[in-house]
Amino acid sequence: MRNNLCFFLLLAQTLGFGSLQITFSSGSTNVVSPLADALAAWSTLIMLVLLLAVYWLYYRRSSPDPAEEGIKKSLSSTESATLINFFFLAVLVFVLTYKVFSPQFMIWFFPLSPS
């Protein structure tokens, strides 16, 4: 099983809660562990909870000032930077908690990296 939650599996092995093997088959590197299947089953829920936390943090940070009236037509540079940082964080959470990791996922970060 290719599992992106390898960090947690390595941590569990270090703490003595499980074993871990890295194998190479079918052109991919695979993590084999009894915990891998359990983490893979929970990874979607973990991803949703963490993404909701990111969205909630963004909502709390960017909630409009009650004194402002009307709809703004453009974002300030600070608001734009905050939005890009939260986009980056949301993509990072998705990549780190998804069941399968591919190096191609790293391309998703290029548009969000500072220029």
| pLDDT by position in tens, the chain (length 115) | 444 566 667 777 788 777 777 788 777 777 777 777 777 788 889 899 999 999 999 998 876 665 555 566 677 778 888 888 898 899 888 888 877 767 777 787 787 776 5
Q: Examine residue 16 and state whether it is found in any structural domain, yes or no.
A: yes
Q: Examine residue 101 and state whether it is found in any structural domain, yes or no.
A: yes
Question: Any idea which residue has 């973990």 for tokens?
Answer: 46
Q: Name every residue whose Cβ is closer than 8 Å to that of residue 28 and which is 6 or more positions away in sequence.
A: 2
Range of the domain at 35: 6-63+73-112
Angle between helices 77-97 and 34-62 (to 10 degrees): 170
Q: Examine residue 68 and state whether it is found in any structural domain, yes or no.
A: no
- Total domains in the fold of the chain: 1
Q: Examine residue 1 and state whether it is found in any structural domain, yes or no.
A: no
